[in-house]
Amino acid sequence: MKLSYYPGCSLHSTAREFAVSTEAVFEALGIELQELADWCCCGATSGHALNNYLHYSLPLYNLIMAEAAANEALVVPCAACYNSLKSAQAFIAGGSSAAMKLKQKVETALKMQYQGKISVRHVLEVLTDKRVQEVLVSRLKKDLADMPVVAYYGCLLTRPPKIANFEANPEQPQLMDRLLQTIGAKPLGWTHKNECCGASLAIPQPQLLTDLVGKITAAARRAGAVAIVTACPLCQTNLDGRQQNGESPLPVFFITEIIGLALGLNIKPWFKKHLISPWPVLRQMKLQLASGEKGCDCHDC
C-alpha cells in the first residue's frame, strides 16, 4: 500500500516524535508513505479566524498536490490538519459561488485542476482498516499487559461530524480504543475523551488552558489510567506541559508511539521530547525494553 502523506507544520517541529513514530510504524506495517512535494501550512489553527480565503485556499493547495501524486489516499496525522483539509473538501463540494470562485482562483495560480477525488484519511482510519489490522496483529512483538490507558481524541477529530466523519458516534468515538485493545493495552471508559484541552490558548489565556488540562487529567486518574494516549500534536503538547506540579503526572503518548512499543520498535528516541517521562510507567507495567537496553528519566539515554 502506498499513501500520500501530509505531516503538517507541527510534525516537522514541536511534534517531531509523532512524525518519526508514525513513519516507523507505517514502515513496519509495510505501508509506504510518500510525503507531499512542496506542501504548505494548511492554516490551522488560526487561518479561519484571520482570512476566509486563506482558510480554504491553503488546504486546497495541498489537496491538489495530493491528487497530482495519484496515490490511494492522503494520510494526515495531525487532528487540526485533518479537520482543515476535510473542511476545504466540504466547502468546495458544496458548490457555492464563493467556493467555485476560490477554486478557480487557486487552480489558475497553480495551473492545476482540483477534481475532488482524493480521500483524506486520519492515521486512526488507516490503522484500523481491516487490511492493516491483520498485518498489525501478525507483527506484534511486545505484550502490553493490559496497560490501563485512556484514549483522548480532543475536540477536532470528531467535530463537526458532517466533516470529520470517520467515527460512527462522534460523542463516543471508539476507533482509538479498539486500536489500543488490539495491541494489548486496556482502554478505559471515561468522561473526557473528546473535551477540549484549550487548543492554542496557551499564550492569550494560559489559566483557562491549565484549568481544562487539570479537568482532563483528573478524569483520567479517576478512571484508573496510568497514561493518556492521543492523536493530536496540540493536545499532546498541552497535556504533557500543563499538568500541575502537585499532581501525580500522567505521561501522554502519541498513538503511534504506543503502537511502536507493541511492535518492538526502538522507542527511546521518541521519548526525549516528552516533558513527562513515560519510563516510570513502563517500568511499573514491566514493559522493559529488549535485553541490553534501558530506559531512564533523564531523556538523554
CB under 8 A, 24+ apart: contacts of 206-211? 209/238, 209/242, 210/242, 210/244
- Give residue 200's pLDDT: 81
Indicate the length of the chain as a whole number.
Answer: 301
Does the domain at 2-123 match CATH 1.20.1050.140? Answer given as yes
| Residue 253: CB atoms within 10 Å | 29
Q: CA–CA separation, 32 vs 152, rounded Å?
A: 27
What is the largest distance, in Å, between two alpha-carbon atoms of the chain?
A: 64
Non-local (6+) Cβ contacts of 199 within 8 A are 45, 155, 234, 238
- Give residue 291's pLDDT: 39
Cell numbers representing residue 238 in the block:
498541552
**Low-confidence spans in the chain with pLDDT less than 50:** 290-293, 300
Helices (H), the chain: 8-11, 16-28, 47-50, 52-69, 79-94, 97-110, 123-127, 130-138, 175-182, 206-223, 233-241, 255-262, 279-284
- Give residue 300's pLDDT: 47
Residue type, 276: I
Q: Are 209 and 197 in contact (CB under 8 A)?
A: yes
Q: Where in the chain is the domain with CATH 1.20.1050.140?
A: 2-123
User: Left if phi > 0, otherwise alpha if psi is -120 to 50, otherwise beta: which for 8?
Assistant: left
Q: Where in the chain is the domain with CATH 3.40.50.11810?
A: 142-284
Cell numbers representing residue 270 in the block:
521518541
Q: CA–CA separation, 147 vs 18, rounded Å?
A: 21
Q: How far is CA 79 from CA 3, 76, 118, 121, 162, in A?
A: 18, 8, 18, 11, 15
- What's 142-284's CATH class? alpha beta
User: What dihedral do alpha carbons 295, 296, 297, 301 form, nearest 10°?
Assistant: -90
Q: CA–CA separation, 38 vs 163, rounded Å?
A: 25
Q: CA–CA separation, 103 vs 10, rounded Å?
A: 26
Q: CA–CA separation, 194 vs 278, rounded Å?
A: 23
User: What dihedral do alpha carbons 44, 47, 52, 55 form, nearest 10°?
Assistant: -30
